Amino acid sequence: MRLQDQTTVITGGGRGIGRATALAFAREGAHVVVTARSEGEIAAVADEVRGLGRRALAVPADVAKEADVDELVRRTEAEFGRIDILVNNAGVIDFSPLADAPTEMWDRIMSVNLRGVFLVTRAVLPVMRRARRGNIVMVSAIGSFGGGGIAPIYRASKAALNNIAEAFAQETLGQGIRVNTVCPAETDTRLNRMAYPSGPGHAVWMRPEDIADVILFLASDQSRAMTGATLVACGSAKLSRWG
């Protein structure tokens, strides 16, 4: 098993890509901590992980709140004594044009998609540094490379996330810690179904499990030669469209 007895923290772990990643990791031997604001959803995922024979912990948290993040790390260390892998998957999206977007929406997207990544990664790094090993995977988006006015605030947040990931990778060089990023195209999640009720148009939906497999690759020793990398997971999407 590629992740035998490794402890993984997955933000946004209650559904979609987060849930698929939790189950993929459990099948590869990992113990899984799932966190999100929805207590019911993460509890259900934790039960699924236990059903696969692995240990699990569900911690309700808003990653944009520092106190919640500190409690997440505290409870994980208390339960498992280590954090081997972090998957920064939590994110929010809105499709309002910039000219019509309320300030509150800008603040919420940036708070979760950027502040949340900063807070969780910063809190987890000391645990990994003490162990001299760790693996961090950022879940960005193909739209981070541009592509027009669809979900402009979301795209801006993910473009910034790509740069933050590179900075963390640079800062952890030589410390036994790797930081890599995956940028999915349209994936069959509840948010995307709401945004594109007729489908993505240019391609078939990717499945959350497709992205989970890429995250698994980045989290495992199969990608041991990589840090600071950004992988595009576009399935049958046209690369020229960039989301």
Span 149-201, pLDDT tens digits: 788 999 999 999 999 999 999 999 999 999 999 999 877 676 666 666 656 65
What's the pLDDT score for residue 234?
A: 82
Spatial distance between the Cα atoms of 168 and 20, rounded to a whole number of angstroms: 25
Helix (H) or strand (E) segment spanning residue 10: strand 7-11
At how many degrees (to 10) do helices 103-110 and 152-171 cross? Answer: 30
Residues 36, 60 contacting (CB under 8 angstroms): yes
Whether residue 223 has pLDDT greater than 60: yes
Rounded Cα gap, residues 131 and 84, in angstroms: 9
Q: Quick one: pLDDT at residue 240?
A: 42
Mean pLDDT over each residue of the chain, to the nearest integer:
92
Please tell me the total number of residues recorded for the chain in this structure.
243
Cα–Cα nearest to 86, from 129, 44, 49? 129
Tell whether the model's pLDDT for residue 203 goes beyond 80: no
Distance CA 210, CA 189 (A): 12
What pLDDT is attached to residue 205?
72
For residue 237, pLDDT beyond 80: no
Q: Which one from 25, 145, 154, 168 is the annotated catalytic residue?
A: 154
Q: Give pLDDT tens digits for 54-82.
A: 999 999 999 999 999 999 999 999 999 99
Give the model's pLDDT for residue 241. 45
Helix (H, G, I), strand (E, B) or coil at 153: helix
Res 151: pLDDT: 87
Q: Check residue 197 and give its pLDDT.
A: 60
| pTM of the model as a whole | 0.93
Angle, alpha carbons 220-44-38 (nearest 5°): 95
Domains by residue range for the chain, with CATH = 7-233 (3.40.50.720)
- Kindly tell me if the per-residue pLDDT of 51 is higher than 50: yes
Pairwise CA distance, residues 155 & 177, whole Å:
27
Q: How far apart, in Å, are the Cα atoms of 107 and each of 35, 94, 113, 146, 211?
A: 21, 12, 10, 20, 27
Helices first, then strands: H and E counts in the chain: 8, 7
Banded pLDDT at 5 (limits 50, 70, 90): very high
- Known catalytic residue at 154: yes
Q: What's the pLDDT score for residue 143?
A: 86
